[in-house]
Amino acid sequence: MDIEAALEEIGSAPNLERLQSLKVQYLGKNGRVTQAMKTLGQLPPEERKEKGRVLNEWKRALEEALAVREAQLKEQALQARLEQEALDVSLPGYAFPSGGLHITSLILLELVNIFRRMGFSVVEGPEVESEFFNFDALNMPEWHPARDMQDTFWVDFDRAAEEAFTIQGPFGEEVNGLGGAVLRTHTSGMQIRYMIQHTPPFRIVVPGRVFRYEQTDASHEAMFHQLEGLVVGPSITMADLKGAISELARGLFGKEGKARFQPTFFPFVEPGVQFAMWWPERQKWLELGGAGMVHPYLFKAVDDYRERQGLPRAYQGMTGWAFGMGVERLALLRYGIPDIRYFYQNRLSFLRQFRG
Ligand code: FA5
């Protein structure tokens, strides 16, 4: 056996598999060195000693060469893997875009939280509304000029009906018979829905999206949001309304915040007011919405509806107040945004400024 050639072969084994087969070839159970050692006993004693020494030396040399080569090959494999999996931790990472709340949602949350602190519950209503809840029950019959104040998107009811579309009343009952369908022009319809379903006393606010067939400009959108408030009980007065709106002003604008009320007309309140809030930072009044004492007509319409549903009348002798305010208008004034149309153009450079 040529030991030099064997050592050379081991020293240049290209990979671990080949190295393993060389190990078997020389030192395995049937390997050449092992076999040669087995034949030692047949030799004459003086030859045996010398041959034994040589074979042992070979074995040791082979084992050492195998170990060295194995270490080399493993080191090479490790280096190759490290290179392949190299990770430069100093490279800038990928920033995942994170979402945020829209400015309208932020303001609505702020408003709603102020009212929650005053013990109000939050309820929501349908955006496609029956003419009855949006207008008639609010003391705005078809001929009433006040309807022109809120230009309306009408839903093609016949077609909607063909597609099995129904508007449901407060108890899930179908109310298709109660006039046409509209995209609600204000959140005030929820006053009626809520009163029909509940007995006083209660305090609610209703955040929601409303729609008007409007020529848009810097302060008018065709889709915007309102926050409605309604409080009904046995002895609710205009002073409570002033107190709550003033508290809202302080919640929004701090200790110096205050509210101002001026008489105006809405068919569903009597007396009616419009209210503005004092903005201490800019030293000016911001017109925000309408309010007033719930018109007795509404209580009657609600009780009539309840009676038709087999429920007891619940609103005789009650009083209440309501308000409705524009959410985008508040944001416009508070942040000095020049145009309401920015809100829903989805331009990120605008929206990101208000991310909550
Ligand atoms: C109403 O909608 C009444 N329902 C408010 C109300 C409720 C009065 C309860 C009394 C009792 P008005 O049409 O004025 O009222 O709208 C209320 C507010 O919505 C306005 O003050 C304004 O802030 C906002 N608003 C009205 N039209 C638009 C529009 N096109 N774009 C943006 N905001 C609007």
User: Once rounded to an integer, what is the mean pLDDT over residues 316-322?
Assistant: 97
Residue 258, in any domain of the structure: yes
Choice from 211, 220, 266 to test ligand 1 binding pocket (greatest atom count within 8 A of CB): 266
Distances (CA, A) of 5 to 1, 144, 304: 9, 112, 111
Please state the atom number of ligand 1 nearest to the C-alpha of residue 230: 9
Residue 98, in any domain of the structure: no
Residue 95, in any domain of the structure: no
Distances (CA, A) of 105 to 209, 218, 222: 11, 20, 18
Is there a single domain that holds both residue 68 and residue 161?
A: no
| Cβ atoms of 125 and 189 closer than 8 Å | yes
pLDDT one-digit tens code per residue, 336-356: 899 999 999 999 999 999 876
Is there a single domain that holds both residue 111 and residue 78?
A: no
Contacts of 144 (CB under 8 A, 6+ apart): 135, 267
Going from the Cα of 266 to the center of ligand 1, the distance in angstroms, rounded, reads 10
| pLDDT attached to residue 158 | 65
Residue 212: CATH number of its domain: 3.30.930.10
pLDDT one-digit tens code per residue, 53-97: 999 999 999 999 999 999 999 999 999 999 888 888 898 888 888
Is there a single domain that holds both residue 169 and residue 139?
A: yes
Q: Which two tokens stand for residue 58?
A: 């070979």
Residues with CB under 6 A from ligand 1: 150, 186, 188, 212, 214, 220-221, 224, 226, 266, 269, 272, 288-292, 322-326, 328-329, 340
Please name the residue whose Cα sits nearest to atom 29 of ligand 1: 220
Is there a single domain that holds both residue 258 and residue 167?
A: yes
DSSP SS3 for 322:
strand
Going from the Cα of 283 to the center of ligand 1, the distance in angstroms, rounded, reads 23
Residue 28, in any domain of the structure: yes
| pLDDT attached to residue 356 | 67
Going from the Cα of 338 to the center of ligand 1, the distance in angstroms, rounded, reads 19
Q: Which of 18-32, 46-60, 167-181, 322-336 has the lowest mean pLDDT?
A: 167-181
Pick the closest to residue 281 from 238, 350, 335, 234 (CA basis): 335
Q: Has residue 159 got a pLDDT over 90?
A: no
Buried b (16+ CB within 10 A) or exposed e, 15-48: eeeebeebbebbbeeebbbeebbeeeeeeeeeee
Is there a single domain that holds both residue 200 and residue 66?
A: no
Residue 276, in any domain of the structure: yes
Is there a single domain that holds both residue 71 and residue 146?
A: no
Say what the pTM is: 0.75
Task: Output the 3-class SS for 40-71.
Answer: HHHCCHHHHHHHHHHHHHHHHHHHHHHHHHHH
Is there a single domain that holds both residue 307 and residue 236?
A: yes
Domain that holds residue 189: 103-354
Please name the residue whose Cα sits nearest to atom 13 of ligand 1: 150
Is there a single domain that holds both residue 43 and residue 142?
A: no
Residue 90, in any domain of the structure: no
Total domain count, the chain: 2
The C-alpha atoms of residue 251 and residue 257 are separated, in whole angstroms, by 8
Is there a single domain that holds both residue 151 and residue 189?
A: yes
| pLDDT attached to residue 328 | 96
